[in-house]
Structure 1
Amino acid sequence: MALTGPTGPVMTREEADRALARLSAEREAVEASLLALQDHPGRRLLEGARLSGRTRQQWEAAEPGLALLWSLFDTYSEALAAARAVRARRSRPGQSELVELTELLRGAGVTLSSSQLPVAGRTLTAGVRLSEQVSLVQLVDRMNDWYGRIMAVATAADAVWTALPARIDLLLAELGRVQALARSVGVLVGEHPTADALDGLGKELAALRDEVVCDPLAFWTPKPTGADSERDPVPGVVETGRYDRAARAVDDIRLELEDLLRLRDDADERLERVAAVLSRADATLSEARRARGEVLAKIAATEVPAVPGPATAMRERLAQADLLRQHGQWHRLAPLLDTLEAAAQRELLRARESLTEVTAPLAIRAELRGRLDAYKAMAARMRVAEDPELIERYDQARRMLWSAPCDLRAAEQAVLRYQQALRQAGRG
């Protein structure tokens, strides 16, 4: 029958040795963890930072655990040393030593003073500060609890401080370069919304940096309970939404300004191209007006459409664009020049369509002349060119087509009659 003590069955020598080895290993692990916590960059930064918000609240709750952890560790080490001393009395401990080891290793044999208790558990009774009796296992659990609370705050703060401030500083430097680019193309604060947006982004990034430095936990989202900590040892995610939006806005504005910079370099050439297109449109309209006079003189009974006048308004807008170029108003020139390029192409197309409409009767006359000559050549190949009827109808059609003014309807009918006579002669 196994012997029992105040804490239950008395440990055997082998059980006591195994417990001592395990607790000694735990002591080494706890000491290594405390030393790592002492050197943790997040903890060092938290101690010297000007904190606010959620971070200040959580750090004020966790920071007292730093000194308490070392105090609890010293108590744990002393209790373990006492157990080792009992075990060292004899190579084969007797019953009294085993009972004492059982009490020290399993029982609530560790006394915690009031200063080692949570604030809520400190009271005074009859002028005596209360204490608490715990076991070594409970003492380790208490140290692990404090360590976890402190490390949670230090790790989260360090993750945020590692991820965001340096990136914000780089973005602020990029913002400065973009603002210099804006000034170089005449985009100034108070005169252009893009410059005002850049100024607002600078204030937003400065405020964001201050918030990150003072309250990093406001930008930290812990992992849900039960998340896989082995595959992802970081217990949460840094919220970078505000930074990402600002970075995208800076990049969009940079691209817009680079377009203005290219416009500054290409403005002369683009304005010259617009002027050249308008000149071609004017020349085409002039040709259409000359052709209209020719049609009215040479084609009878034809309604010839009027030719529109030159694009005077376009010339005025082109002069306005050139004035903007001279004064370096690139942000105002950009949309105007895009509009002018499209409008100039439309003006040239309108002039060409007008020329086509005006010269349509001349094209019809030329087509009829070609058909008549083709039919005459066909009559020669068929050896019927000397047919009197064909000669008569050919002469009639030719007089109509080569006289002025030319009646196109009558000339077409004359060509058609010559074609019909050629078919009959061919059958004969």
Structure 2
Amino acid sequence: MLQVAFIRENKAEVVERLSKRIDHAGDSVEQLLALDLSRRTTQTQLDATAAELNTLSKEIGQFFKSGQVEKANLLKQKTADLKDQKVKLTESLNATADELQQLLYQIPNLPHASVPEGDSEDDNLEVFRNGSVPELHKNAQPHWELAKKYDIIDFELGNKIAGAGFPVYKGKGARLQRALINYFLDKNTAAGYNEVQVPHLVNEASGLGTGQLPDKEGQMYYVSADDLYLIPTGEVPATNIFRDQLLQENDLPKQLTTYTPCFRREAGSYGAHVRGLNRLHQFDKVEILRVEHPKNSYNALDAMVEHVKGILEELKLPYRILRLCSGDLGFTSALTYDFEVFSTAQDRWLEISSVSNFETFQANRLKLRFKNAEGKTQLAHTLNGSALALPRVLAGILENYQTELGIEIPEVLRPYTGFDRID
């Protein structure tokens, strides 16, 4: 959530940057500033009324003590009128503050200066590419056919149990899935990320804190009986560990990693591009996140990008990195890099990770602050990345490592799987 004071003091810059992301940015900013002015004016009136009430209360007490009952009663009538005014001002203030808050919830983060302008994923900017696409044998198949051939992932069984988008991993498929999770966690902890296990359901305050609510409630599974949401990513509960915290400057950075299943309704998703593991309602993911000093957050973002690159290079998968354009940028992000692995059998790129800097956008919602060296309190920066999302990594391995004799296991994973081939 943007800070009102920053918008007020940097109106022209905010409008210019927001215009990359939303239509009529100027109108939204004007509406927001008008509400802010009304809120501040009402607050001033309320403070003045409360101060006058306090003064009159003292005078009434003095009049009663001195026996001037008539004067005291006259002032009591005035205080009654002021109390009515105070109630009305309080109601007006609360209504205006709530309207302002709801409008703030609807405004996305300001894009970083390096974010390219664009309307869709077609306008994303490729900034890096690594690895060569393997030449597959003539009978090469996409991963959903390989899964059936080697009986390692059962999409039909998952459909029977829960519905489409809930696969059942079997035998060596399940072991490969577990191997990837452990490998990712080991790589992350070796890089200094502290592993945590977090709840798989969150309350509304947690969803609001990281920006999933009210923006993405239609994509989240909701448990109405308990007013809880199944998590769309481990980022939500892990980042909320720091909600309402005041850290010291020397506490920074905070670095966490977590493995969780993720649940997404993916409403409206259909077509050939969602076949197999390409898009699921339930999938596993390992996350990394950081809480950083604002001066260091973009260095931290670069370090996270390099970390994910290192994992993919060890897996020897062909991949590329995209800097997302303004039209494809997530609601809460100031700058995002997407990692995509090339699926040779499908002849297309598959997104496997997003690494983002949210700057103060989440921290403002979370009330996540730190006390700097001068003793002043300021908002921290939050960052998040997938290291990595499993389904499309697994799809990339199955398709790119397939041979006529079976599916080879990347060498770095063999200590985790206990086998070197699926056949």
- State TM-score, norm by structure 2: 0.22
More helix by share: 1
- State TM-score, norm by structure 1: 0.22
Determine which structure has greater relative contact order: mean sequence separation of CA pairs < 8 Å that are 6+ residues apart, divided by chain length. Answer: 2
More strand by share: 2
Tell which structure's C-alpha radius of gyration is larger.
Answer: 1
